[in-house]
Amino acid sequence: MNSWPHHPRPARPHPHAAPHQASHPSSSQPPHQSPHRATAAYVTLAGADWLASASPFPQSVHALWCDQPSAPVVLPCGTTFDVISAPALFGRRLLDRLWSAGPGSGPVAAQRGRLLLFAAPGTAQRLPALLAWEEWSRAVPPLLCHGKGDAVTAPALYPPGDEEPTAPVSRWLVAPEVRHPWLPGPEVLLWACVRAAREGATAESAGGGGIEAAPFATPTPAPR
């Protein structure tokens, strides 16, 4: 099987799109966007509501963002979402498989050399068990699976301005845009992991060294 067999969610723009093609997203807009437009790298109001709902004190999270909109925030996993953390190289290959031949992804963040894929609750527990049965599991680098009882640091709502002296340690590649985003489950991520592992093995055997290490382009935020 070379491609995703069905499409459980509407198409969304690919996160590899160029920065100058970004546009201001709106939760009221239909999800049928051109594949040539960049995925938002900043969070909409509806997306912020979704992130805050993971906390037992969502109003406190909103209050923090009102005072410090550029501040990251620690959120618990296991109820609203799980998070699968992959090394940057494999994570980029995994994300590319999800977008080019699969159903797409949920929110995705880059953080300290790793990619954080937000997934459906329960994925952190089931994905390692599913991978253990796959013959290609040895080609999959160690994944950090954050589920119930864990917490992750979510990036700021939007990227810092050009005047900021240092780059942020975390940023959104696919930012939350709606109140109830689609999240991949363990079967979807298993499918993508296996194909990303095969792709990496093929690239190495061909002498290509795998996927390039260049970072994703960050879409330019629209004026607020």
Give the pLDDT of residue 135.
Answer: 85
| pLDDT tens digits, one per residue of 77-118 | 999 999 999 999 999 999 999 999 999 999 999 999 999 999
Confidence of residue 21 (pLDDT cuts 50, 70, 90): very low
Give the pLDDT of residue 213.
Answer: 37
Give the pLDDT of residue 104.
Answer: 95
| pLDDT tens digits, one per residue of 149-172 | 999 999 999 876 666 555 567 899
User: pTM of the entire structure?
Assistant: 0.76
Are the C-beta atoms of 222 and 161 separated by less than 8 Å?
no
Higher-pLDDT residue of 205, 219:
205
Give the pLDDT of residue 61.
Answer: 95
Q: From edge to edge, which strands make up the β-sheet containing 114-119?
A: 144-146, 82-87, 114-119, 108-111, 170-174
Mean pLDDT value across the chain? 78
Buried b / exposed e along 196-214 (16+ C-beta atoms within 10 A): bbebbeeeeeeeeebbeee
DSSP state of 131: H
Q: Is the pLDDT of residue 63 over 80?
A: yes
Q: Is the pLDDT of residue 201 over 50?
A: yes
| pLDDT tens digits, one per residue of 24-56 | 333 333 333 333 334 567 899 999 999 999 999
Classify 33 in phi/psi space as left (phi over 0), alpha (psi -120 to 50) or beta: beta
Higher-pLDDT residue of 13, 179:
179
Give the pLDDT of residue 204.
Answer: 67
Locus of tokens 């550029």: 70
